Structure 1
Amino acid sequence: MIRVLLVDDHAVVRMGLKMLLNSLEDMEVVSEASEGNEAIENAHETRPDVILMDFSMPHGKDGLSATEELKNQLPDTAILILTMHDDEEYLFRAVQAGASGCVLKSAPHEELIQAIRNVSNGEAYLTPSATKRLMDEYLGAMKEHGTDVYQQLSAREKEVLTLIAKGYANKEIAEQLYISVKTVEAHRSKLMDKLQMKTRPELVSYALKKGLLGSAIQ
């Protein structure tokens, strides 16, 4: 059973989503919230598997701020952003905040349900249109810059990159790969140098473009 926390400032929207998800055999809405601060409090109390988070909430803490805070506090909880904005900027901001993906509010119910199932399994989810735009952007960048630096990464560096992008802390990565935390830090430093990046969000965005979130190491 996938335990879901609904976060949206519109009660009618929450009611409709709750009826939809509770009608499914593998989902249960365990709590609701109308803004970010309430979502954080409810998430700590109920420990949901997935948080369905509205992007824009005018009252209280907004969805992105709440997502970033929750991923630091409850890293194992998947967060799926609901947004009406079909724009790359919102997509990247959501991923940088720690979300496992985005779904448009105008998307069919079947897409939303599949997205919840995907992120509950540790996978990422993007709308088909967003995925195509990211791939087009990435391929364009590869043509502009020539050689794909990703192919120059070692197998271990690719593993570390994928786990970083999925939100794992250095200690958790060390435990999964049976290496020391210092070794993880060394790999991360080399990744930053090779990819010419300085922050974790940059690594996450890069991994997303490479299709590493929710997929096997390439």
Structure 2
Amino acid sequence: MIRVMLVDDQELLRAGFRMVLGAQPDIEVVAEAGDGVAALELLKTTEVDVVLMDVRMPNMDGVEATSRIDGPKVLILTTFDLDEYAFAAVKAGAAGFLLKDVPPDDLVSAIRHVHAGDAVVAPATLRRMLDQFAAQLPSGEPARTADLTPREREVLLMVARGLSNMEIANRLEVAEATVKTHLGRVLAKLGLRDRAQVVVYAYESGLIVPTRPSSHQPNV
């Protein structure tokens, strides 16, 4: 079972998510909280695999709470896809973000993907966010990418553009397991936590320049 915690200050929204997730044979809602402070307290005594975290809450917002969570995967829930707080939460360690009006099937799928170690980020949505901060993006590439091999750098860029491991494997004509090995080394060398942070890193470091989004928004 995938153990899920719901963190949102709106009880009606938590009830809706609870109903959707409760209908799944492999997902169980084991805890709920109305703010970040309560969530962190519950995590001290409750085993949780995935946290669905609202961004704007009283006492402690989702960004601060996410930065203090070690272990469970965090999926940020936001009302607006241009919410800079959701972007900050991904930087803080969240595995990705979803809009609160996400279709039920997509919510369930996202939880399963995150639990399996993937990240759920819509690259085109992230590009729209980063357009707001383009002026602050560093112009040069950080020195630490020099530690990457050419193949590792290639994998980093493909992940940042939203390609799955299988799609990368097909392009490079290697086994999917080989891609996972390369990605693991990229994460270790750059000190990144997961695929979501790879996307953020690539844009912030100037490896990929923000562009106007297309209508296609694949998940990482």
TM-score (norm 2): 0.64
Structure 2 equivalent of residue 47 of structure 1: 47
Structure 2 equivalent of residue 25 of structure 1: 25
Measure, in 2, the Cα distance between the counterparts of 1:205 and 1:39: 26
Measure, in 1, the Cα distance between the counterparts of 2:32 and 2:201: 33
Change (3 A) 1:8 1:146: closer
Q: Which shows bigger deviation, 103-112 or 7-16?
A: 103-112
RMSD: 3.6
Structure of higher RCO (CA pairs closer than 8 Å, 6+ residues apart): 2
Measure, in 1, the Cα distance between the counterparts of 2:83 and 2:8: 22
**Match status 1:85 vs 2:84:** no
Aligned counterparts, 1:1-218, within 5 A = 1-57=1-57, 59-70=58-69, 74=70, 76-87=71-82, 89-127=84-122, 129-130=124-125, 133=128, 153-154=148-149, 159-163=184-188, 164-166=191-193, 205-207=200-202
Give the superposition deviation at 1:85: 1.8
Change (3 A) 1:205 1:7: same
Give the superposition deviation at 1:131: 5.3
Change (3 A) 1:60 1:146: closer
Secondary structure, in 3 states, of the residue corresponding to 2:45? helix
Give the superposition deviation at 1:127: 3.2
Secondary structure, in 3 states, of the residue corresponding to 2:44? helix
Contact (CA 8 Å) 1:165, 1:207: kept in 2 or not?
no
Contact (CA 8 Å) 2:82, 2:128: kept in 1 or not?
no
TM-score (norm 1): 0.64
Give the superposition deviation at 1:208: 7.5
Show structure 2 runs of 5+ residues with no match: 157-183, 209-218
Change (3 A) 1:96 1:25: same
Aligned residues: 169
- 1:206 maps to a residue whose letter is Y
Identity of aligned residues (%): 38
Give the superposition deviation at 1:114: 1.2
Contact (CA 8 Å) 1:162, 1:207: kept in 2 or not?
no
Contact (CA 8 Å) 2:78, 2:86: kept in 1 or not?
no
- 1:60 maps to a residue whose letter is N
